[in-house]
Structure 1
């Protein structure tokens, strides 16, 4: 049984973690993701990432638990998932020709030692000037209703952008792999060792 656990039901995060070719399990955390009054964005990202890992930690003694949570930021607002066609189109009209930032909190809990680390990574995207026709065609094709930025970076969303700025484009999808690799190495995981295996859900 693998020692690594991803505290997420997101298929996108699982696809990213698959790239490391290290065996892991995943479990869906159940937490309240509401923002507290006066809570800073970075504090919120850290709290949610750690809370997700803590939510499943009791079920996995002696494991390394990964928690991650992404926030999309625009004009001082934290954006939720659009949920439907009209909201996604409205968001992209707001973003046209503008910058949107994505902050992803990342936590790693070692339930064997009780230690944990929490970091975050921020990535910025500049949208092209988009016509209504382009926006509606994109949303119809990619249906990014469960993505806080109203686009899928791993899909056709790449056609929306003018440029990026940041260290790790995986942050856009919700799991900053460069920072995760750093945390795993600190926890003693040999990422380039021989540890092939298949992920398992719970």
Structure 2
């Protein structure tokens, strides 16, 4: 039941943003979006152990939509928190490289089972049983594709998982102009 309410809340938030026209791609400061997501994570503790989030984002603005990016980072932060039931550190770091902004979100949980990796970004796939709805990472991947970016996941050599996000910069980086790739045609599920 909890996952149904979370799904409804997430979809209502995204649909409201779409109706309000706030899903227009524009320059976004990732530090601001991450700060908002961390604030929501702190309010939405769900009785779990506290987590420490270390942020290092000396990056230029990216092309995106604040509402979708906030939702994306909330999803990644919640998943990282849930992967560490006893608490632990989450790191979010980024850099501008090769004409892109690359951000890594890493935790020190158990990591992602290899059998799960191929299905990680599929809609309705979850490893959380009744507590999950299988839409968070699918929406994250859809958001990144729509904005002309990409997301991938891997396990850390010292334990834990790392999600790597590759964004189009809003300005020139390393003398390279932002990619002019058209956003994907992914859309939210229709009711």
TM over 0.5: no
- The structure whose Rg is larger is 1
TM-score bracket for this pair, using the shorter chain length: under 0.3
TM-score (norm 2): 0.27
TM-score (norm 1): 0.26
Q: Which has the higher contact order (CA 8 A, sep 6+)?
A: 1
